[in-house]
Amino acid sequence: MRLTTFSDYSLRVLMYLGVHEGRLATVGEIAAAYEVSENHLVKVVHHLAQQGYIETTRGKGGGMRLAQAPRDINIGEVLRGTEDSLTLVECFDAAASECRIESACVLKGIFGRALGAFFTVLDRHTLADLLGTRTKLARILVLPETHPRRA
């Protein structure tokens, strides 16, 4: 199983905003900090705002910040909302499955339990847990030319 880049970037945006709580950040600033595509982050930010994880302000002096406390943002919930499909193998999708051994195969059950265990672990964690090394993350994710803007 591999998470999509969209999910990865969603977590990165939330972590960046969590590390820099109390100030507005821009898409450009976050893209530069992670050395990723600004265009892709725009879609991620739009999704996170729609889901209520972040709030955005348009215009000069605008930006984004967390809309919830880090302890209230559940990692499992975020990933369920960012992954288009949690179909590990084709038999997870009964309408599209063309697997010849599906009726005799036990892998679907095993993979289903594994996926459940994966989310059970993620559901135990919040953004606050990802910020446990906040000081170290802040040192890594600061751009020298960035001037903090107060929210």
| In a domain? residue 93 | no
CA–CA distance from 8 to each of 23, 70, 91, 100 (Å)? 22, 17, 26, 34
| In a domain? residue 134 | yes
Q: Read off the pLDDT of residues 95-109 as tens digits, 9 standing for 90 and up.
A: 777 777 777 778 878
Q: Which amino acid is at 24?
A: L
Domain span at residue 27? 5-85+127-150
Question: Is residue 92 scored above 90 in pLDDT?
Answer: no
CATH of the domain at 75: 1.10.10.10
| In a domain? residue 53 | yes
CA–CA distance from 61 to each of 8, 38, 57, 138 (Å)? 27, 18, 8, 22
Give the count of domains, the chain: 1
Q: Read off the pLDDT of residues 32-54 as tens digits, 9 standing for 90 and up.
A: 999 999 999 999 999 999 999 99
